[in-house]
Structure 1
């Protein structure tokens, strides 16, 4: 495509974005104007189509504040995003939301907090490698990620790029919009890294270009096609390119240009002054991308024939298979720590669901998350060694879930704070991702208050669309997984380090979040407990007219359980902060501090989690 046409395509992206932001009187024009040249050229290289083909390239905008550029690109390319939606940018109910959301056709993943998109791109690249290994290595698509200075300042970007190096993700292409401007002005005030050497040290294929030179952009993208390593194109750009006297200024970052300056910029570019103008030549240029890609995908479909097993894998990938698992081989009678019973569950799921995989943040022996019959993902297996990279780990499995896999990741519950932004985004997108957390209470004992989670389970329970499970034994653990696998939501499992007694001889029904493990119609009180405290609650209720309700999932209990079944005084017992239980309980036996260092039994007794002490207070 000639440079004259590319110029028109770039200007149409640029000024549609400006008009959207002016109409909304809200948005970020600077990045959209500075990146439009790159996106125009990228459209001639990338394989995207409106039908979500399995072998399509993925395009991730890590700088989600440049959403106006995304929407301009999708509209001009023929995706299901109308001009009226663009005119309704950032308004309630619009598909052109302030930051990109997957409800919009063509948006691969929600990227709000900076840096998330880079880790998402790494997750997509890992997922693509895994899926291709199951399909005759036939998938050859690339993962393109547009990112900026803010993304690369966030620690998650280093975590993710370091892992991209370890996995040699040569299907990953970062395009770094290096405009050297942040909200507060010159980025060198806070960020003076030599990005060339940073990424050379990370094992990337590093290419430096003028981000407004069409020929250099095109050549750089071609150089990544057959790269043997992950690539980064460091593109020197001007924020607000074409914004006349504000070109290169932080003033274009987060404020509309306004009608007067927008008109001046259009005149300077010899562009039509009409608002939301669509140039036919530019639109045709973008639509060629989808037409070219459709032809390529038709050819790919014809060339690739898959076995029944591979077709089943694709069906799982496309969400056309239910996640049913037979857990009947697992022993319910043994006294397990729930991290151990969960290990047995994970291995059964991995055997029966081909798209199920995952790993831990360097804690697999402690989390008990190693899939014993499988190799490392780099060797075609299902185990992922994330290293000590909790933040990136969460964002990586989000992308894997969006790709169609069914991933889990794991660490200690107290470190769930490190991946909270990713868990929140998983919940926002209703992703089928599984977050496994062991060492779930003061039962950690000698490690002390720095490692004893107190407020974390309440934090998880307060995230909308996330279901948090805290099983009390093997039978409950199986029941929790049976429910979690059917939910179209992310799930968190919080698991004990301590061995717990077997309380059930059969798998209970926890579809309503809770069940009575001891019940009488005329009970004087009801104890609600979860996890390791269920056995304690039974001990308290022994020989007393007190019901015990095991509540492995508060969110389901809150929504589904018939609360009229709760008899008499309602008492909650949980070795955590757990103030959310006051919604139903008259009295709580919970934690009011950060714990203490000592032997597990001594710590539980010290904080009042002792049957005799609780009985005295009833």
Structure 2
């Protein structure tokens, strides 16, 4: 700490912060101009805040996965020019040439920041508001890590956000949760420039942001976002916080851009060479493009120096300290799920897959202390309570409240933190509220586990609004996301074993109603996405393809068809996504020359890629008992047999 204080004083005494900030903002302007595409306004407006943050943030460019590093999230990904400029100046592997290739195909500097693509980017934020919830997730992850690892974790989470982020509903969900949990390690920096794409924000946004955040339990500090002393004092104050902090920084969009300062025109278009030249002249900077003086580089070198020293101190503490903590950290970072065993279920019993999945989750929880998650106020219905651990932050049961959108984004942050395997849960029909964050998880290939129960018209009396019809089709279309709809408790186990081995988000879509327990399938069969569940009496002329509860229906229909001389096999397809990735040879061997009838009590349009005909839902369902609805909408043995005969002619 003494070293940090001395370094800070040296910065204040030997560096012209205004000149450094002006060079940073013009570097961002050059990047956007060179790309002839991008958003210069916010980077120019935030440059002063970014320079002062550089005196406070602890990151180590040589050890980018250091667990106790500060996390920096830009909720507005359109500020990417500033993000990349900072990463370059701080010493990450982002070169000046990378800045010159901003927004170009194949570059390290795409239009919006992408996790694991650019060194130093902590998370892919995407749509506005996501980043605020991600930052809350990082802060929550750090609080749980503190509980597990003690004084090895004491870092901050910084998040830049703007008016657009605060207008998005997800920001209220997330900050409400942050205030509830008193996340004193969270610092939101609100770029309050009063400008949106359509003009002044007053046309749509007039609430008192300070009162809003005070109401949800934040400390609020109001500053001039271009006054270096005020900015510095605000960051210092957050180090003694007992609540999450919102710094409301009044800024000018396009700061320093001659003739365009404060204009919404600076938001999403290059400034133009003439404006940049005049701006550099007014700021008394060299007119050269991508120019950063040695004095500015020396200032930003302080981030690298401070971070390296902080990491060395932390590493020494880790190695010479409590050996149990070192062992725990290693197990949290590298769980070996090949050693995890699940109990199998007795064939012939009847059990909903949401129930068996709850027991599976508890088995994982007892094996892996980094397995953490919960439900959006539906744990008793989703069967997601972990019985041998407490509630967050002392335990691994997360209570998200009725905040599905934030829950998804928070889970993404837990997945990226470094020691967790997060899961989150709700009814499948409410997955629509998580869709943006699921898409981001899929882009990042983040290992988030989604548990969605009440998977079809089997929901019954709750009616159309609660019966998921089109959701599975939507998520099956999402690249990198692995969807699972197991047909029984034993297949559920096999699916989970495969899911734990994949570097991807996995979604389990589970029944409310009881399903008969069948024989345990092999992991090889399940990893192919589909396999023969019941063989035909001879070479099949018909294959019944199904997932989830409809597999049991097809098994019953198979018996009728076989007695009528139609050689029929049943193919269970727990994962459409993995089956689609399987080889043509495997698919050909599976179906041979049989006609394929797919049966699914959902929309099922994607099944036409595999089947000659599909029996699926063509409406949003109805209110009534599940078995009545299945029969009404054609999911009966009689109708499957009829549909099969029609297909065979």
TM-score band, normalised by shorter chain: over 0.9
1:290 Cα deviation from its structure 2 partner: 1.5
- Mark the CA change 1:483 to 1:306 in structure 2 (over 3 Å): closer, same or farther: farther
Are positions 1:77 and 2:90 aligned together?
Answer: yes
TM-aligned CA deviation for residue 20 of structure 1:
0.5
Query: What pairs with 1:106-505 in structure 2 (closer than 5 Å)?
Result: 106-304=120-318, 305=320, 307=322, 309-318=324-333, 320-324=334-338, 326-333=340-347, 334-378=349-393, 380-404=394-418, 405-505=420-520
Question: Secondary structure, in 3 states, of the residue corresponding to 2:358?
Answer: helix
Alpha-carbon RMSD:
1.3
Show the counterpart of 1:558.
580
Q: CA deviation at 1:321?
A: 3.8
Sort the Cα spacing of 1:117 and 1:332 in 2 relative to 1 into closer, same or farther, 3 A: farther
The 3-state SS of whatever aligns with 1:245 is: coil
Structure 2 CA distance, aligned partners of 1:202 and 1:328?
Answer: 42
1:537-579 Cα deviation digits (max 9, x unpaired): 1001115120101000001001115111203110100000011
Q: How far apart in 2 are the matches of 1:90 and 1:505?
A: 50
Q: CA deviation at 1:377?
A: 1.1
Stretches of structure 2 lacking an aligned partner (at least 5 in a row): 1-10, 645-649
CA contact (8 A) 2:332 2:368 kept: no
Q: Secondary structure at the match of 1:101?
A: coil
Equivalent residues of 1:528, 1:550 under 8 A apart? yes
* TM-score of the pair, normalised by structure 1: 0.98
Partner of residue 70, structure 2: 57
- Are the counterparts in 1 of residues 351 and 514 from structure 2 also a CA contact under 8 Å? yes
Per the alignment, in what secondary structure is the counterpart of residue 267 of structure 1?
A: helix
CA distance in 2, matches of 1:326, 1:316: 13
Q: How far is the alpha carbon of 1:595 from its aligned partner?
A: 0.2
Deviations 1:223-252 (A, max 9, x none): 000200000100000000001211001010
CA distance in 2, matches of 1:423, 1:11: 38
Cα gap change, 1:193/1:215 in structure 2, threshold over 3 Å: closer, same or farther? same
Instruction: Please name the residue that 2:543 is paired with.
Output: 526
CA deviation map 1:288-310 (0-9, x unaligned):
11111211221122223455553
Is the alpha carbon distance of 1:5 and 1:324 closer, same or farther for their aligned partners in structure 2, counting shifts above 3 Å?
farther
Which residue of 1 is the match for residue 623 of structure 2?
A: 597
How many residues align? The count is 616
Matched residue of 2:526: which SS?
A: coil
Q: Distance in 2 between matches of 1:505 and 1:587?
A: 28
* SS across alignment from 2:373: strand
Partner residue, 2:35 = 24
Q: Distance in 2 between matches of 1:426 and 1:29?
A: 28
> 1:330 offset after TM fit, Å?
4.3
Verify the 8 A CA contact 1:8 1:279 in the aligned structure 2: no
Q: CA deviation at 1:506?
A: 5.7
CA deviation after TM superposition for structure 1 residue 608, in Å: 0.3
Q: Distance in 2 between matches of 1:403 and 1:332?
A: 39
Alpha-carbon distance in 1 for matches of 2:553, 2:76: 49
User: Residues 135 and 306 of structure 1 are in contact (CA less than 8 Å); yes or no, is this contact kept in structure 2?
Assistant: no
Q: 1:45 aligns with which of 51, 56, 68?
A: 56
Residue 515 in 1 paired to residue 536 in 2? no
* 1:547 aligns with one of 569, 572, 580: 569
Report SS of the residue matched to 1:435: strand
- SS for the counterpart of 1:408 is strand
Cα distance in 2 for partners of 1:489, 1:8 equals 45
Moved over 6 A (4+): none
* Aligned-partner Cα distance in 2 for 1:492–1:28: 35
SS in 2 for 1:46: coil
Q: Write the distance in 1 (CA, Å) between the matches of 2:554 and 2:636.
A: 10
The SS at the match of 2:412 is helix
Shift of 1:323: 3.0
CA distance in 1, matches of 2:598, 2:384: 30
**8 Å Cα contact 1:327-1:478 kept in structure 2:** no
Deviation at 1:505, TM superposition (A): 4.5
- The 1-side partners of 2:55 and 2:150 are apart by 27
1:325 and 1:597 map into 2 onto residues whose CA distance is 45
Deviation at 1:587, TM superposition (A): 0.8
1:615 is the counterpart of 2:641: yes
Q: Deviations over 1:379-433 (max 9, x none)?
A: x100000000000000000000000211000001101110100000000001011
Question: For 1:2, which of 6, 12, 15 is the aligned residue?
Answer: 12
Shift of 1:507: 5.3
2:335–2:368 CA contact under 8 A, matched in 1 = no
Alpha-carbon offset, residue 493 of structure 1 = 0.5
* TM-score scaled by length of structure 2: 0.93
8 Å CA contact 2:345, 2:517 repeated in 1: no
SS in 1 for 2:532: strand
Distance in 2 (CA, whole Å) between partners of 1:336 and 1:436 is 17
**Residues of 2 paired with 1:250 and 1:119: CA distance?**
26
Q: Counterpart of 2:6?
A: none
Q: Render the CA deviation track for 1:301-344: whole Å, top value 9, x for unaligned.
A: 222345555334423554x4433353343434332100000000
What are the Cα deviations for residues 87-142 of structure 1, in whole angstroms up to 9, with x where unaligned? 01000001110000111000000111000000000000011111121112430000
State the Cα deviation string for residues 2-44 of structure 1 (Å, max 9, x = none). 2752223212220111000000100000000000000000000
